[in-house]
Amino acid sequence: MIELSGLMTRPAQTWGSVRLVPLVRPEPIKDLRLHPVVYGDELSMVSLPDKTVYTAYIPHAFVASWTGDGTPAATYGTQLGRPLRHMGIRTRRRMARRVEKNRLRFLPLHLALEGFLALHFGGPTVAWEEWTHQAVAHGLSPRVEEAYTGAEVRGLDDALRVFEIYAGQCGVLLYVGDTLAAAFVVPHPEDYRALHPTLVRDLYGELIYQYALFHPARDVPVAIDEAAVSSLADLRAQATRCEREWADFHDSVMAAGLRAAPDREEVVYRLGRFTLRRFLPSFERQRENHIGEMITDESGRLAYLKTFRLSEAQSRRGHLLSVLARHDWHLPSAAAALGTDQAALGLRLERAGFGHLLRQDVLDAYRKAGRP
């Protein structure tokens, strides 16, 4: 469960279909700081632990700086490289890499997406007769998922440019069409001011792209009891009450899906008293499914958070893979767990993009059995 402890919700600001809900820290975290590094238009390659190579266009990375004795750490600020006249290639050893003492470079959201793409990547654990030789020998390679950059989400660039940044703001919950698209939390207000524009470089799911086109944000009614207002002090008290009611409604209703998001967590790196983790959801149907990464201190207080909301299709793929893995990739057992038959499960796998894992004659038999 994600606890937004130490963060207070402030009134939302809307622009078209985009709603930004500021998160403010009364006391910033001073011994962990984040700053961005912008790489430019370069191809980056990362060597993963299993010796495979992950290749991606990486517009920016975060560098975390921390101190071992709890003393304040200063941010380095944004670093811009000069434009290159040719295409260069950067070689990275890991998604999260220690660049020097007490400084860690990691790629925002790539940690989370790597965890999702690697979900049961090895494929069938038992060579059941339905699976192809390729599925047994090579697993789910290649595994591909689609996403949109923030620059393609209608109205997001304008919203980030015109919205007010609150005093003490250390995070934001981003809604598109009143659907939670992403959460972003940092340790210190200076970090947020430096990293606020990077939200337009982040990745967003297909659902968020579509909602930005077709679903405007709804108005949240604010009801002031006119009978209780006879002075400026009364009006101020009413405004404070409305602000508190909005925060309670947001935290208990609008952000409820995010709080219950993590189902599995993996420790990526330890930064002194802080721990960097990535997490995956339960992939339950008809509910929000968020992947992401976070940094917490030794007491569990949230210092950093960045999330990506999976589309319904991506959630279905994660759900199918999880069910198959729980049943050792035995199709009859997995079909029974899903309340269907083996042929219907085979056709679901094909629609989900995993048809190439099944033998062609087996898949043809499933199609024949599925015809009326």
CA-CA distances (angstroms) from residue 98 to 72, 104, 269?
A: 20, 4, 9
> Is pLDDT at 99 greater than 80 in this prediction?
no
- The mean pLDDT value for 308-328 works out to 93
Confidence band, pLDDT 50/70/90 cuts, at residue 4: confident
What are 190-240's pLDDT values in tens digits? Answer: 999 989 988 988 889 888 888 888 887 776 666 777 888 888 988 888 888
| CA dist., res. 323 & res. 352, Å (int) | 14
Least confident of 19-28, 34-43, 99-108, 200-209: 34-43
Helix and strand element counts for the chain (H, E):
11, 19
- For residue 195 the two structure tokens come to 């990293």
Q: Are 303 and 296 in contact (CB under 8 A)?
A: yes
Mean model confidence pLDDT for the chain: 82
pTM for the structure as a whole: 0.81
CA angle 13, 297, 175 (to 5 degrees): 20
Torsion region of 16: left, alpha or beta (phi above 0 gives left; psi -120 to 50 gives alpha): left
